[in-house]
């Protein structure tokens, strides 16, 4: 009898996978890394934006290499997800916060988000299908910097546009990068989604292997704090 | 003599089995457990040596942060050899089973091994594998609680890199197994002499001229993803 009561209480706490109002606060924990506009999504259990150890989808490569959300937005829309796009109104600077609001539909009980890390070649931050707690409250998650595995980390600023598969960093929003680097590498050892090894950088603004600044553009994990409030 | 020993052995086993059956009120077949342990390498270019996995109770610890590594852990963390680490585990009464995978885990790949044994209260999981392009770096799981894991339940976590603290992080090619160097050498020591979180590798690309490592070997934790699934 006691077991039955406990089971009933648990079922009530878990609730049906119904609608929920969520706020998702994003805080940049780095000293010198910017995030491109975020896509935040509530979706069902059969949708997956990325899987560590597996190859990145073309849509994810667009995010990680160029900060382009169009592919993942189309994928998630087709899967019936509820979306909040670009809550920061542009890039999210070091130390800055932004808050997204989502009303998740029935069955959309997983939360994912993605954004590119700048300046990197194909670094991104991501939340991977986190189950949304059914009980009201605020839940905090710390996220790592991932490497899409799709582009060699040459650490050279690109001149001109950004194309998937073409090595080069599309932009440095902080304006602290140098130029004239010879390139850190031409190879990508692990071509699957893996933890980013960080920028190497150097202290030569007009040469050296990297266009990045080793005193500013490095990081340790975690790189983003996410506070999810279930209303 | 050989026959008598064997007879005694069978008699002893029968007695133990009877005790076990009396203790839990079930037959032995129904009280066995089996777990699958998968280690996925999430680094860019750090090969992981064949993971060793230990199913145990609270009387065993593979390592403790801040304390000196055992010789078994030292040999694993410096050279990837699992024999001494497994022998230490198997010699501990709290250990149910200890096994090593047949192969290492290249970056971007995963390896699965199976542990099975008698179902006992308070089971835990310890896993250890060397980051082969370091002096004495390793990753793993330190005594994960499996007691609440029902059949077909699983637990997954991203895990960090530790430094065994048994060898100085010179990064010279002669001391790093992935570069063809000698892994375990009892003559090499470190002033640290305790298990810590690994500080990462400096590499020749970042100014350590004696380092045999390249920028590709750099890592930021976590370095691996471990999943344990109870299959029985």
Residues of chain A contacting B215 with CB distance shorter than 8 Å:
184-185, 200
Name the CA radius of gyration of chain A, rounded.
19
- Note down the domain range covering B67: 32-230
Counting one residue from A and one from B, how many pairs have CB atoms under 8 Å apart? Answer: 69
Q: Most A CBs within 10 Å: which of B39, B40, B41, B42, as the mutation test of the A interface?
A: B42
Q: Which is it for strands B95-100 and B110-118: parallel, antiparallel or unpaired?
A: unpaired
Q: What is the pLDDT of residue B23?
A: 38
What are the structure tokens assigned to B103, written together? 């192969």
Based on the number of CB atoms within 10 Å of its own CB, is B198 exposed (0-12), middle (13-18) or buried (19 or more)? buried
pLDDT (tens digit, 9 = 90+) per residue, A16-32?
456 789 999 999 999 99
**Residue B16 domain-assigned (yes or no):** no
Q: Residue B51 sits in a domain of what CATH number?
A: 2.60.40.2130
Query: Distance, in angstroms, between B87 CA and closest chain A CA?
Result: 31
Segments in chain B below pLDDT 50 = 1-28
Residue A151's pLDDT band (cuts 50, 70, 90): very high
**Residue B9 domain-assigned (yes or no):** no
This complex has an ipTM of 0.89
Q: What is the pLDDT of residue A80?
A: 96
Q: What is the pLDDT of residue A142?
A: 98
Residues of chain A contacting B158 with CB distance shorter than 8 Å:
52, 144, 195
Q: What is the pLDDT of residue B30?
A: 57
- Note down the domain range covering A119: 17-52+60-148+220-230
Q: Do the Cβ atoms of B44 and A200 come within 8 Å?
A: no
Q: What is the pLDDT of residue A1?
A: 34
**Residue A161 domain-assigned (yes or no):** no
Q: Residue A40 sits in a domain of what CATH number?
A: 2.60.40.2130
Nearest Cβ partner for A52 among B42, B206, B221: B42
Q: What is the pLDDT of residue B189?
A: 85
**Residue A124 domain-assigned (yes or no):** yes
pLDDT (tens digit, 9 = 90+) per residue, A163-203?
998 999 999 999 999 999 999 999 999 999 999 999 999 99
**Residue B3 domain-assigned (yes or no):** no
What is the spatial distance between Cα B213 and Cα A153, in angstroms, rounded to a whole number? 17
**Residue B18 domain-assigned (yes or no):** no
Percentage of chain A lying above the pLDDT 70 cut: 92
Strands (E), chain B: 32-41, 52-56, 95-100, 110-118, 124-130, 137-145, 154-159, 161-163, 196-197, 224-230
pLDDT (tens digit, 9 = 90+) per residue, B134-175?
999 999 999 999 999 999 999 999 999 999 999 999 999 999
Please identify which residue in the block is written with the tokens 């530790």.
Answer: B162
> Phi/psi at A95 (nearest 5 deg)?
85, -10
Q: What is the pLDDT of residue B29?
A: 52
**Residue B201 domain-assigned (yes or no):** yes
pLDDT (tens digit, 9 = 90+) per residue, A104-123?
999 999 999 999 999 999 99
**Residue A25 domain-assigned (yes or no):** yes
Our count of domains for chain B comes to 1
């Amino acid at each position: 009898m006691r077991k039955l009561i406990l089971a009933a209480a648990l079922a009530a706490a878990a609730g049906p996978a119904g609608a929920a109002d969520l706020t998702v606060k994003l805080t940049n924990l780095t000293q010198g890394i910017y995030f491109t506009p975020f896509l935040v999504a509530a979706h069902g259990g059969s949708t997956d934006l990325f899987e560590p150890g597996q190859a990145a989808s073309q849509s994810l490569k667009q995010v990680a290499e160029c900060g382009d959300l169009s592919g993942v937005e189309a994928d998630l829309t087709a899967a019936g997800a509820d979306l909040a796009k670009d809550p920061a109104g542009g890039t999210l600077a070091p130390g800055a916060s932004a808050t997204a609001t989502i009303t998740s539909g029935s069955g959309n009980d997983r939360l994912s988000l993605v954004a590119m890390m700048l300046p990197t070649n194909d670094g991104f931050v991501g939340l991977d299908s986190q189950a949304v707690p059914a009980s009201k409250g605020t839940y905090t998650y710390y996220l790592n910097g991932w490497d899409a595995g799709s582009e060699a980390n040459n650490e050279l600023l690109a001149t001109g546009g950004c194309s998937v598969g073409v090595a080069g960093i599309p932009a440095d929003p902080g304006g602290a990068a140098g130029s004239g680097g010879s390139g850190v590498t031409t190879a990508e050892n692990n071509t699957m989604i893996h933890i980013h090894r960080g920028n190497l950088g150097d202290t030569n603004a007009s040469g050296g292997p990297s266009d990045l600044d080793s005193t500013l553009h490095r990081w340790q994990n975690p790189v983003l704090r996410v506070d999810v409030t279930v209303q | 003599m050989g026959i008598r020993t064997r007879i005694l052995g069978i008699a002893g086993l029968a007695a133990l089995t009877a005790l076990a059956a009396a203790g839990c009120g079930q037959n032995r077949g129904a009280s066995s457990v089996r777990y699958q342990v998968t280690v996925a390498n999430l680094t860019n270019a750090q090969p992981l040596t064949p993971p060793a996995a230990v199913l145990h109770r609270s009387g065993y610890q593979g390592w403790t942060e801040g304390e000196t590594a055992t010789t078994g852990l030292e040999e694993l963390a410096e050279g990837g050899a699992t024999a001494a680490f497994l022998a230490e585990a198997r010699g501990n009464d709290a250990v149910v089973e200890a096994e090593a995978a047949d192969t290492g885990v290249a970056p971007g790949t995963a390896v699965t091994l199976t542990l099975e044994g008698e179902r006992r209260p308070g089971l835990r999981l310890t896993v250890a594998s060397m980051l082969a392009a370091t002096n004495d770096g390793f990753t793993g799981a330190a005594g994960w609680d499996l007691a609440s894991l029902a059949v077909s339940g699983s637990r997954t976590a991203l895990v960090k890199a530790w430094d065994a603290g048994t060898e100085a992080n010179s990064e010279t090619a002669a001391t790093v197994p992935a570069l063809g160097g000698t892994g375990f050498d009892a003559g090499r020591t470190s002033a640290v002499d305790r298990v810590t979180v690994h500080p990462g590798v400096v590499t020749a690309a970042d100014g350590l001229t004696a380092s045999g490592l390249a920028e590709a070997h750099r890592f930021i934790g976590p370095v691996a993803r471990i999943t344990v699934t109870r299959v029985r």
